[in-house]
Chains A and B, each alone.
Chain A
Amino acid sequence: MRSRGRAAPPRRGPGGRGRVRLIVAVVVTLAFIAPIYLMLVNAFKSGDQIRANPVVPPLPPTLDNLSTALTRPDNLIPIGLRNSLIVVVASVALLIPLGSALSFYISRRRGRVRAVILAALAAGLMIPPQVILLPTIKILTWLGLDHSYPGLILSNLGGGYLSFAVFVYAGFMRSVPDEIVQAARMDGAGGLRIWWQIVMPLVRPATATVAIFLSLWIWNDFLNPLFILGPLQGQTITTGLYLTIGQYSVDYGQLFGIMFLAGILPVVGYLTVQKQFIAGLTAGSTK
């Protein structure tokens, strides 16, 4: 495992080599995010301007694309954003307790049951969604939940997302000291209470990690909402975007405007909590 003392990234003063490194890093990074720059910049240019020169920043910037996108008669953006929000909040709010409870439960067990459960959960991570899409819809139909929000949310609860949550929590469960748990048991607390009042606060970083990643993935989820929700219940922002792009509009301005509106929330969200993002990934990968 890790030995004591982790290496901090080496500090170097601005010597010759340091400067070269900085320049190289900046150039590489800028090249790397160039497509995102394009997305940003072209959202504020008219279709013709984009065709003429997609690279230059918008001078002057126009808000036409955005306003047209926002005032579409089918209300794609507001409805899409609202639907996405509903699905994400409900799914994540349910996945967190389910995932951590299951994780805590199996962390205190040993033996074959635990191994089987973990293996089954691992399978969930690698199953291509296309494999189970249609049978899932059939099952939802049996339950009377086809093309409905509860249906979509339920289908999110039992799959790779749950596996991810369990595994992340499993990593952090190890850092919950056994003594505290035993002490609580002595005091007569039941498993449920121990989990909620003692364990959960201790694994807060895991909760943050799970919440952040699951929110991102469910927000960007494409196949499931497309098939399970369907047009009658309105689109999520991601499927709505796909529908718009698919109609061949040569109006690049409009398209970039919609993409901007669709993508800005996850990007802003990421930038706000990026520390936790990276911390979560860091912790996850080193455990």
Chain B
Amino acid sequence: MLSRKSRADGGLALLAALALGLYLVFLVLPLLLSLRGSFTNENPLRATNEFVGLRNYREMAGDDQLRASLVFTLTLAVGVTLAANALGVAFALLLNRTRLSYRVMRTLAFLPQVLSGVIVGFVWQTILTQDGLLNNVLMSVGLLDEPYPWLGTPRAALFSIGAVVTWVLSGFTTVVYLAALQSVPIELNDMATMDGVRGTQRFRQVTWPMIAPGTTISVTISLITVLKLYDIIAVLTGGGPANSTQSTALYIVRLAFTSDRLGYASAVAMLLLALSAVLALAVTGALRRREVSL
């Protein structure tokens, strides 16, 4: 016999179930299909689709391009997360004042997040290309004698992409850290001042620990965002030169659409997913433990 409460909740339960149902159909199910696909040699071009067991996974072990893409993706993820969060903290500390001018600047700081990745990629491309703005400016002030290939060598391209993604993410991290700074209790600041703790010491001993929750969110989301990233890299370098900036996400799309190897692409996708999950959980876990202990 249903209790009055459960009967009355029927409508709500239905709606909640609908939401969950949609989630199952459009997230869990495709994930399972992808998993299943990773055990096949699905290839629309050759119209094949047979189970091949772990062959794709074994092939992944010897795939140099995959290895290179993983190295690139992880390097980018770690580098950008560190840079964007460092910048975010610094920027937040700088802009943490109530005057109108600061409020305006805080508003502006978030703007890079509002643009689509396509726009970001293209604008930066015009800046960084061989005949682009950066070279022209640097040459006209005499810092460069001849144009530097910002996007033309593997190493330069890595740094360029890192810089662009850091720029975009800093909009986000700054706002998060601003919020975190504003939640630091007044008393703590006052006590620190009274104890004569100032400047960088105060930051390290008081501010930084207190904004730990903000740090957790900012770092986790930065990490996940970079691991998933596609459109900025696709527009900025297309994975070049010589596939040196081909992130794993780009590699997956290329495998699926240029090489038509859907089965293998699914296997690589599973790897990326596992990697993202493990990293995200590890980092979040460590940071949350830090939050609690502080």
Binding site for B on A (CB under 8 A): 2-12, 21-22, 24-26, 28-29, 32-33, 35-36, 38-39, 54-55, 97-99, 101-102, 104-106, 117, 120-121, 123-136, 138-139, 154-155, 157-159, 162-163, 166, 185, 188-195, 216, 219-220, 222-223, 238, 241-242, 245, 252, 255, 259, 262-263, 266-267, 270-271, 274, 277-278, 281-286
Inter-chain contacts of B7 with A (CB < 8 A)? 190
- A-B pairs with beta carbons under 8 Å apart, 30 shown: A10-B189, A26-B101, A26-B105, A28-B91, A29-B95, A33-B108, A35-B112, A35-B124, A39-B119, A123-B27, A126-B277, A128-B230, A128-B273, A130-B269, A131-B252, A154-B26, A158-B24, A158-B25, A185-B8, A190-B9, A191-B8, A191-B12, A192-B9, A192-B10, A241-B116, A266-B114, A266-B115, A278-B106, A286-B179, A286-B180
Binding site for A on B (CB under 8 A): 5, 7-13, 15-16, 18-20, 22-31, 33-34, 37, 91, 94-99, 101-102, 105-120, 122-124, 126-127, 133, 136-137, 167, 170, 175-176, 178-189, 213-214, 217-218, 224, 227-228, 230-231, 235, 249, 252-253, 256, 262, 266, 269-270, 272-273, 276-277, 280
Q: When the two chains form the complex, which single residue of B105, B184, B224 contacts A126, counting CB atoms closer than 8 Å?
A: B224
**A154-B22, A190-B11, A282-B179 as given contacts; A128 in contact with B269, CB under 8 Å:** yes
Are A101's CB and B15's CB within 8 A? Answer: yes
Inter-chain contacts of B269 with A (CB < 8 A)? 128, 130-131
Inter-chain contacts of A285 with B (CB < 8 A)? 176, 179-180, 213-214, 217-218
Are B109's CB and A105's CB within 8 A? Answer: no
Of chain A, the residue at the smallest CB distance from B216 is A285
Secondary structure call for the A interface? helix
**A158-B24, A266-B115 as given contacts; A131 in contact with B122, CB under 8 Å:** no
Are A128's CB and B110's CB within 8 A? Answer: no
Of chain B, the residue at the smallest CB distance from A137 is B30
Are A8's CB and B98's CB within 8 A? Answer: yes
Report the number of A-B residue pairs with Cβ-Cβ less than 8 Å: 297
- CA–CA, A238 to B119, complex, Å? 9
Are A263's CB and B277's CB within 8 A? Answer: no
Are B123's CB and A2's CB within 8 A? Answer: no
Inter-chain contacts of B184 with A (CB < 8 A)? 6-7
From B98, B235, B269, residue with most partner A Cβ within 10 Å: B269
Are B26's CB and A155's CB within 8 A? Answer: yes
Are B23's CB and A124's CB within 8 A? Answer: yes
- CA–CA, A134 to B2, complex, Å? 43
Q: When the two chains form the complex, which single residue of A105, A132, A189 contacts B16, counting CB atoms closer than 8 Å?
A: A105
Of chain B, the residue at the smallest CB distance from A222 is B231
Inter-chain contacts of A130 with B (CB < 8 A)? 230, 249, 252-253, 256, 269, 272
Inter-chain contacts of A259 with B (CB < 8 A)? 119, 122-123
Inter-chain contacts of A8 with B (CB < 8 A)? 98, 182, 186
B17 CB → nearest A CB, Å:
9
B200 CB → nearest A CB, Å:
15
- CA–CA, A285 to B10, complex, Å? 33
Inter-chain contacts of A284 with B (CB < 8 A)? 217
Q: When the two chains form the complex, which single residue of B9, B22, B106, B252 contacts A98, counting CB atoms closer than 8 Å?
A: B22
Are B249's CB and A128's CB within 8 A? Answer: yes
Are B107's CB and A22's CB within 8 A? Answer: no
Inter-chain contacts of A274 with B (CB < 8 A)? 107, 110
**A8-B98, A126-B280, A286-B180 as given contacts; A33 in contact with B111, CB under 8 Å:** yes
- CA–CA, A9 to B166, complex, Å? 26
Inter-chain contacts of A193 with B (CB < 8 A)? 11
Are B27's CB and A159's CB within 8 A? Answer: yes
Are B94's CB and A159's CB within 8 A? Answer: no
Which 6 A-B pairs give the minimum distances between C-beta atoms?
Answer: A158-B26, A191-B12, A192-B11, A191-B9, A282-B179, A135-B30
A47 CB → nearest B CB, Å:
12
Of chain B, the residue at the smallest CB distance from A163 is B23
Q: When the two chains form the complex, which single residue of A128, A185, A220 contacts B272, counting CB atoms closer than 8 Å?
A: A128
- CA–CA, A266 to B76, complex, Å? 27
Are A158's CB and B119's CB within 8 A? Answer: no
**A126-B224, A128-B272, A128-B273 as given contacts; A135 in contact with B34, CB under 8 Å:** yes
Inter-chain contacts of A135 with B (CB < 8 A)? 29-31, 33-34, 37
Are B118's CB and A242's CB within 8 A? Answer: yes
A266 CB → nearest B CB, Å:
5
- CA–CA, A130 to B125, complex, Å? 24
Task: Identify 9 new A-B residue pairs, CB closer than 8 A, beyond the known A121-B23, A242-B235, A278-B107.
Answer: A10-B96, A21-B94, A101-B15, A101-B19, A131-B270, A166-B19, A266-B115, A266-B116, A286-B183
Are B119's CB and A162's CB within 8 A? Answer: no
Inter-chain contacts of B27 with A (CB < 8 A)? 123-124, 127, 132, 158-159
A79 CB → nearest B CB, Å:
17
Are B167's CB and A32's CB within 8 A? Answer: yes
Inter-chain contacts of B180 with A (CB < 8 A)? 285-286
- CA–CA, A87 to B224, complex, Å? 25
Inter-chain contacts of B218 with A (CB < 8 A)? 285
- CA–CA, A72 to B265, complex, Å? 38
Are A191's CB and B11's CB within 8 A? Answer: yes
Are B182's CB and A255's CB within 8 A? Answer: no
